[in-house]
Amino acid sequence: MNVDHIPDRELAVRPDSYSGPNLSPRGLHLQPRPLADGVFALMATTPPKDNNGVIIGLRAALVVDAGITPDVSARIQGLVVELTDRPLRYLVNTTYHGDHTFGNAAFPVETTVVSSRANREAMTDLEYEKRLRSANMYGDEAMLDAVTDWRRPDVVFDGRAEIDLGGRVVELWHFGPGNGPGDTVVHVPEARIAWTGNLLCHAGIAHMLLQGGPRPYLRTLRAMRQALPELATIVPGHGPMGDAGAAIDALSVYLERLDQEVAAAVQKGRSLEETMRACTDPWAQSLDPALVTALSAYHLPPGAAEVGMRTLCQNLHRLNVLATYRLYGDSPT
């Protein structure tokens, strides 16, 4: 099989005893965190629930991602009203996944939804997407019953676009496939800050290979580094903010090792379970110290965030091994 192939749909199968991220909005609180004048991260107070963002110009405001339900969308819009009197003119989806887009329809028609062309093209089967996200609701699946309309982006772009908010230009980038086919980065150049959705998280957090393998992802990261050399801070779709360079470095090292180890296992004729055991699990014992420090800011019970994140990363690593193994099939070259 072509190891550069990007499947049309997200991988539906999961490893045995897999436990993915809890994305239920129950207990979700979004804390506005000022990053620069008129630039706010809306940080979920419990990781790995979804983060959002608000960027404000002289004429208009922009929101990053819509939330997983109409109720979450309403809360995001309420925070915008608290932060500015500028009209909310733009909503950017960093990915097509429902936890980032199910709230699109709850935004007013005057708000233009923008994303990559690949993201819009992936938004075709609401019921399938709801079934996939239901696995991350942990008993709150009924909350997704409120999602009856999957509003697709009104405006799309291919590689790069700009949105002028008045005195502030926001850059939108699609560097290539990563977590999904259409990962979109929202960049505020003068603040050296970007919202990276599921493409890039804090260094030391496992990412998810849901539509494609390590090699296309690595090319995307290289393109991002080349295009945004001055980028300092990332606000990921999930988890704490982090240093952009450290995040790219850490994920690149992980993906390179994953690719090499799975390819070697397939060449040796190993089964999936044997490959799982053969591949290095960076989270088997502990987390990166910088990540532990970042997680301490969540004010959860002592050790809870660290233990929860390590367990999640171990599960995501198993998913990544499975995805890469299936992609290689009998031909790892």
Tell me: the pLDDT tens digits for 1-17? Answer: 578 889 989 999 999 99
Q: Is residue 145 part of a domain?
A: yes
Cis peptide upstream of residue 301 (ω within 30 degrees of 0): no
Measure the CA–CA gap between 180 and 69, rounded to whole angstroms: 21
CA gap 237, 21 in Å, rounded: 12
| Residue 311 located in a structural domain | yes
In the predicted model, is pLDDT for residue 333 greater than 50?
A: no
Specify the number of domains making up the chain.
Answer: 1
3 located within any domain: no
Domain contains 105? yes
Judge whether residue 66 has pLDDT over 50.
Answer: yes
In a domain, 132, yes or no: yes
Nearest of 74, 75, 121 to residue 95 by alpha carbon: 121
Average pLDDT, the chain: 96
Proportion of the chain in helix, strand, coil states, percent, rounded to 5: 40, 20, 45
Which positions ≥6 away from 8 have C-beta within 8 Å?
Answer: none
∠ CA(69), CA(74), CA(80), 5° rounding? 130
The pTM score is 0.97
pLDDT digits (tens, 9 = 90+) for 84-143: 999 999 999 999 999 999 999 999 999 999 999 999 999 999 999 999 999 999 999 999
pLDDT of res. 302:
87
pLDDT at 3: 84
Q: Are 203 and 290 within 8 A, CB to CB? A: yes
Report the greatest alpha carbon distance in the chain. 62
**Residue 17 domain flag:** no
CATH number of the domain within which 285 lies: 3.60.15.10
Any domain includes 139: yes
Question: Is 144 within the bounds of a domain?
Answer: yes
What is the residue range of 204's domain?
Answer: 30-328
- Give the Cα separation of 122 and 9 in Å (integer): 8
